[in-house]
């Protein structure tokens, strides 16, 4: 489905010789649509529990017009990529390659654009080895 149409413009363009043609260009402008985050679990807070050394992927699949900017936070601080943490798929996935006990905490993704923002929260619990 398409977002609400804001405007429709038709432009006629005349090309000079040797082409001597006229082309009609239609320009569509859509109203901004605020982000939403797909949540397959149905829970407002997703709890993930893993053992040390296991890879973890947190998903923040979002749609909007224009496309949202997705930012990840851990315990309220913005996350930057490191040797063990990657942000993939335009921010829609946060991957911890090998979980460590200090990765335990509250993770939040925020998807935002000019029409609004939405967030999803995760609690990651990393347990020591058996």
What CATH number should be reported for the domain holding residue 107? 2.60.40.10
Residue-number span of the structural domain to which 88 is assigned: 33-127
For residue 107, what pLDDT is reported?
97
Tell me the whole-structure pTM to 2 decimals: 0.78
> Is 3 a member of any domain?
no
In a domain, 7, yes or no: no
| Inter-residue contact 79 to 72 (CB < 8 Å) | yes
Determine how β-strand 116-127 pairs with β-strand 93-96: unpaired
Q: Do residues 62 and 35 make contact, with C-beta atoms less than 8 angstroms apart?
A: yes
Q: Measuring CA to CA, how many Å separate 79 from each of 82, 109, 113?
A: 9, 10, 19
In a domain? residue 39:
yes
How many domains does one find in the chain?
1
In a domain, 96, yes or no: yes
Q: Which of 28, 20, 112 is nearest to 63 (CA)?
A: 112
Q: Which pLDDT tens digit goes with each residue over 49-97? A: 999 999 999 999 999 989 999 999 999 999 999 999 999 999 999 999 9
Per the domain annotation, does 11 fall within a domain? no
């Amino acid at each position: 489905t398409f977002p609400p149409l804001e405007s429709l413009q038709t432009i006629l363009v005349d090309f000079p010789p040797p082409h001597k043609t006229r082309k009609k260009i239609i320009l569509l402008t859509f109203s901004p649509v605020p982000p939403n985050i797909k949540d397959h679990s149905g829970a407002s807070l997703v709890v993930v529990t893993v053992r040390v050394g296991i890879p973890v992927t947190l998903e923040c699949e979002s749609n909007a017009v224009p496309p949202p900017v997705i930012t990840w936070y851990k315990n309220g601080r913005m996350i930057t990529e490191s040797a063990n943490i990657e942000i993939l798929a335009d921010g829609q996935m946060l991957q911890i390659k090998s979980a460590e006990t200090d990765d335990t905490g509250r993770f939040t993704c925020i998807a935002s654009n000019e029409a609004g923002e939405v967030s999803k929260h995760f609690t990651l619990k990393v347990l020591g080895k058996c």
